[in-house]
Structure 1
Amino acid sequence: MSYASRKDDHVRLAVAQQRESMAGHRPCPFDEVAFVHHALRGTAERAVSLATEVGGATWPVPLYINAMTGGSPRTGEVNRGLAIAARETGLAIASGSMSAYLADGSVAETYRILRRENPDGYVIANVNANTTPQMAARAVELLRADALQVHVNAIQEIVMPEGDRDFSAWPCNIARLTETLDIPVIVKEVGFGISADTVTQLTDLGVRIVDVSGTGGTNFALIENARRERADFDLLADWGLSTPACLVDAAEVALRNGVTLLASGGVRTPLDVVRGLALGARAVGVSGHFLSILEAEGVDALITAINTWITRIRQLMVLLGAETVRALADTDVMLTGRLAETCRLRGIDPADYARRSRNPLRQMAPTSRIL
């Protein structure tokens, strides 16, 4: 099957998944995170700053359009709409995997449109973990990218009929990219999560920005299974760590090693964005939800939706008394359900999160471990 056909399948199946999720047919891990309401802690809206720092750059809002697509005429049009929305709202934007371009230069414009329509924005190129530094440099040059996103997707590849079956070189390849590129390298999952142990390993490889990209959003195990002739590989449908679980698990390691955490996967609302920021993410990425709006209603509707999200994020910060993005990491949150159980099994006391604002010496998410 051609790259173009595969990319079109991915968009079609991802949109179908998103519609199912928004209809309430799938639980969302972010619903296991609730803020403790303190009635007199609100601040003034004019005092709130949404600016956040990622890889030495200041983003105007802690929200970005995460990697989606490219490589076919249809997906090129999707990228055009996403780029226009990013330009009009100030969001950073990541391309979809550029493997199709690296294999066939004729599809370059389906990716380059991200920069053409968004000449002054923060644009992130996306490649797989098998990419050589020379290939990565080509991807970066095509988009005049501000950062490189390296996706790790072993689960997707295993289920994909034509996928890779050897991931042993990935750590070495990632290290080579961090050593040779002069822009930030972001490592992200594709929806199955990154654990604290993996963040530690990535730190040793020179990575300083990690997008945990946990479960709860687009599920590429299900997408690739739907592309199989018999759809006979659904045993990995529930594999992985949720985005909130990844953030809690990795908070201590990230703080200790100076790693910036980004969060994506299962983000449906502005409240989910603020929940992710409160759990230690510096910014939160959205893919499926924004794609579904673009496909159903067009780019103007997507711009309106994103601007509404930005307003709601600011208003939620007002209610929480958080005047900066980093201040959200001092708010009290209750971790419940499966998330709380995951915390306990990983040696993290969820009760610390419910009372962390009482500690004036705190600088980040609580890191106490159950002894």
Structure 2
Amino acid sequence: MSEPMSPSGQRKDDHLRLAQEQQTAPPVRNDFDEVQLVHHALAGLDADRVHLDVEVLGHAWSAPLYINGMTGGTERTARVNRALAIAARETGIAMASGSVSIALDDPSAAPGFRVIREENPDGFVMANLGIGRSGDEARRAVELLGADALQIHLNSVQETVMPEGTRDFSRWPHALEEVVAASPVPVLVKEVGFGLSRRTLSRLHDMGVQIADVSGVGGTDFARIENARRPGEDYSFLAGHGQSAVCSLLDAPDPAPLLLASGGVRTPLDVVKSLALGARAAGVAGVFLRAAYDGDPEHATTVIRGWLSQLTELLALFGADSPAALSRTDLLLRGRVREFCELSGLDPTSFARRGDLSPAPDPLPTTATPPRSRTTT
């Protein structure tokens, strides 16, 4: 007879199930639908000229696409992580784990995360840890996965709705500074689906954070997930709270950390829009969770390969021979996104003629190093 699951383990499995339920619900519009790429019928390229590689944190990523942090720590979630890790290995894209906090507190949960590195020994892997942990715990999280970077997630809205969540956010800035100073690898700060504001990005830059994932509203909604776990109090009014990835990218300050985008990325076209708005790469969780939910790496691999093929074809369609060249694409901002720009003092019309005015971008650095080889024991 198996031992009963810990409360933390039960929460992990609940999150996985409820996130999958959101993915199988009828699709809804989000702010990516308010961004239109202007079609220029004679602007296309030969797809053979297109390259997808980008430089991130001194490493060459083969594509501006990565599997974002989702899960881990239980037998059920380990099967999903294994399928995703194999898919990352077979397609060459980067991958983040779910929060490893459970494994730091309970070593028996560690195999559900180690499987990522075991199945993908040479890939770019990011460990994930909630804010508020110590510098020593950050080092342990990196060691657990042999990680190339450490994601620290900010989730104050989720914690507010979570029945067992914290209500004291006052220590978070100091804790983040401690982790940035102590981590042996670069620290990537991300939201969990509520967006990073201009003020937050400026503060992260001042703290020495090199890279941030704006992770906006429009994808998996952790306010809804945690509300579904609450017996009694109803926080449904927080569903949809926050800024989208689109609005977070538009309002990003200069200087700011290098920006990644996630939250509501449903198609390769959403990836293209993220890149055109200034992200270096886009992270996908929900769609890839659906592909790996049954633990089938072949299905997940097929889905990701399809995205990479379509990304190449879309760049050729829009006349961009590289992800960086999308910064010259003409964009029309409509609806809620246009309203956000106007209320924030931004000019939404300035994106409509970029191809006429913008010089070609500088080529990406060629000194990036590939992920280091590892020997799995």
TM range (shorter): over 0.9
The equivalent residue for 2:282 is: 284
CA displacement at 1:207 relative to structure 2: 0.5
Equivalent residue number for residue 336 of structure 2 = 338
Does 2:137 align with 1:167? no
Q: Distance in 2 between matches of 1:71 and 1:345?
A: 43
Residue 317, structure 1, aligned to residue 315, structure 2: yes
CA 1:84–1:140: 2 relative to 1, 3 Å: same
Alignment deviations for residues 239-297 of structure 1 (CA, whole Å, 9 cap, x no partner):
100111111111xx2xx325210000001111111111111110000001110122258
Aligned residues: 357
Corresponding residue number in structure 2 for 1:327: 325
Task: Tell me how far 1:56 sits from its aligned partner.
Answer: 1.2
Please point out which of 190, 206, 209 is paired with 1:207: 209
Task: Determine what percentage of the aligned residue pairs are the same residue.
Answer: 52
Question: 1:298 is matched with which residue?
Answer: 296
Measure how far apart 1:357 and its partner are. 1.4
> Matched residue of 1:64: which SS?
strand
SS in 2 for 1:348: coil
Shift of 1:329: 1.2
**Map of 2:7 onto structure 1:** 2
Equivalent residue, structure 1, for 2:58: 56
**For residue 217 of structure 1, what is the aligned residue in structure 2?**
219
Match of 1:71 in 2: 73
**1:228 CA drift (Å):** 0.2
> What is the one-letter code of the residue matched to 1:219?
D
Matches within 5 A, 1:1-371: 2-20=7-25, 23-24=26-27, 26-230=28-232, 232-250=234-252, 253=253, 256-257=254-255, 259-295=257-293, 298-361=296-359
Deviation at 1:174, TM superposition (A): 1.2
Say if 1:68 and 1:95, in contact at 8 Å, map to a contact too. Answer: yes
Taking structure 2 as the reference length, the TM-score comes to 0.92
Query: Are residues 192 and 355 of structure 1, via their aligned partners in 2, closer, same or farther at CA, if it must alter by over 3 Å?
Result: same
Offset from partner CA, 1:215-254 (integer Å, 9 cap, x none): 110000000000000251112112100111111111xx2x
Q: 8 Å contact 1:356–1:362 — kept in the other structure?
A: no
How far, CA to CA, are the matches of 2:274 and 2:313 in structure 1?
A: 16
1:311-367 Cα offsets, whole Å, 9 max, x none, are 000100001111111111111111111011001111111101111111134759xxx
Alpha-carbon separation, structure 2, partners of 1:113 and 1:189: 25
* Cα RMSD, aligned residues only: 1.4
Aligned partners of 2:82 and 2:291: how far apart in 1? 14
Cα distance in structure 1, aligned partners of 2:361 and 2:320: 13
Distance (Å, rounded) in 2 between the aligned partners of 1:241 and 1:102 = 31
Greater mean deviation of Cα atoms: 26-35 or 126-135: 26-35
Separation in structure 1 between the aligned mates of residue 328 and residue 221 of structure 2, nearest angstrom:
31
- Tell me which amino acid in the other structure corresponds to 1:58: A
Aligned residue type for 1:225: N
1:162 deviation in Å? 0.2
Query: Gapped runs of 5+ residues in structure 2?
Result: 1-5, 363-377
Q: Structure 1: give runs of 5+ residues left out of the alignment.
A: 365-371
Return 41-50 or 214-223, whichever deviates more.
41-50
SS in 2 for 1:235: helix
1:179, distance to aligned residue in structure 2 (A): 1.7
Tell me, what secondary structure is at the counterpart of 1:95? strand
CA contact (8 A) 1:71 1:98 kept: yes
Checking the alignment, whether the CA contact within 8 Å between 2:89 and 2:123 is kept in structure 1 is: yes
Q: Secondary structure at the match of 1:257?
A: coil
Assess if the C-alpha contact under 8 Å between 2:83 and 2:295 holds in 1: no
CA–CA separation in structure 2 for the residues paired with 1:362 and 1:236: 42
